A and B are shown apart, each in its own frame.
Chain A
């Protein structure tokens, strides 16, 4: 069975502070990990995925297979980063059925 755990429901920081949103996973095969974001009144959208190794909007995430973690980090938070963030997993061997397993999500609030 595959599972994604986001241990915190809410993170509130001041603008300019560092941010780390935690994500741990459980999966027996080779996982693909994602972070999705939902801004207020908008649809769920992909922020980044580990195979791309990109930095999007200043966010990065490194897959740590030893710790089974995929924490999302940003050195200096901006007010526009305030949103709901979901960590998600799919199996690389799943072929086209890349169904996603999501964590419960965390609300990031960046105060001015």
Chain B
């Protein structure tokens, strides 16, 4: 079946612009995660959804970052007033939600803020 998809794959934004990044998880997957991967670093956790409920947003770096999953499937990560330090690859992952289930990653959205 189809894997996790993300759009756009690349995004260039001017400093101060708002951006919205989309994640389509694997159909039926309950859990959805967002990670941020800066250049030369490993992915870092941003936020977690179980269905439509955002149960953990401890990794969001500032109140400019906002994520939602209103119907428990597609999720959007929004970054307001982008800054240069927001430049990174944003990864989405989904899993079935059981304790031992694997997280499946999307291809990522590469964001460059000029």
The 4 closest A-B pairs by CB, nearest first: A102-B42, A44-B105, A99-B45, A96-B97
- Offer 6 A-B interface pairs, CB within 8 angstroms, sorted by A: A43-B107, A45-B104, A86-B42, A95-B99, A100-B45, A101-B45
Chain A: interface residue total (CB-CB under 8 A): 22
Chain B: interface residue total (CB-CB under 8 A): 30
The one of B31, B56, B105, B108 that contacts A45, using a Cβ cutoff of 8 Å: B105
Contact: B40 with A46, CB < 8 Å? no
**B44, B50, B102 — most chain A CB neighbours (10 Å):** B102
Contact: A43 with B42, CB < 8 Å? no
What is the bound-complex CA distance between A96 and B100, given in angstroms? 9
For A26, the chain B residues whose CB sits under 8 A away are none
Contact: B98 with A96, CB < 8 Å? yes
Interface assignment of A71: CB less than 8 Å from any CB of chain B:
no
The one of A6, A43, A51, A98 that contacts B95, using a Cβ cutoff of 8 Å: A98
B3 CB → nearest A CB, Å:
8
Check A99/B33 contact, CB under 8 A, given A46-B102, A104-B40. yes
Binding site for A on B (CB under 8 A): 3, 30-31, 33, 35, 40-45, 48, 50, 55-56, 59, 91, 95, 97-108
Question: Which residue of B has the minimal Cβ distance to A46?
Answer: B102
Interface assignment of A64: CB less than 8 Å from any CB of chain B:
no
The one of A49, A51, A95, A102 that contacts B43, using a Cβ cutoff of 8 Å: A102
Question: Which residue of A has the minimal Cβ distance to B31?
Answer: A96
Check A98/B42 contact, CB under 8 A, given A43-B108, A44-B91. no
Check A96/B42 contact, CB under 8 A, given A43-B106, A44-B105, A45-B105. no
Question: Which residue of A has the minimal Cβ distance to B47?
Answer: A99
Contact: B31 with A104, CB < 8 Å? no
For A103, the chain B residues whose CB sits under 8 A away are 42
Interface assignment of A28: CB less than 8 Å from any CB of chain B:
no
What is the bound-complex CA distance between A46 and B97, given in angstroms? 16
Contact: B48 with A99, CB < 8 Å? yes
What is the bound-complex CA distance between A103 and B41, given in angstroms? 8
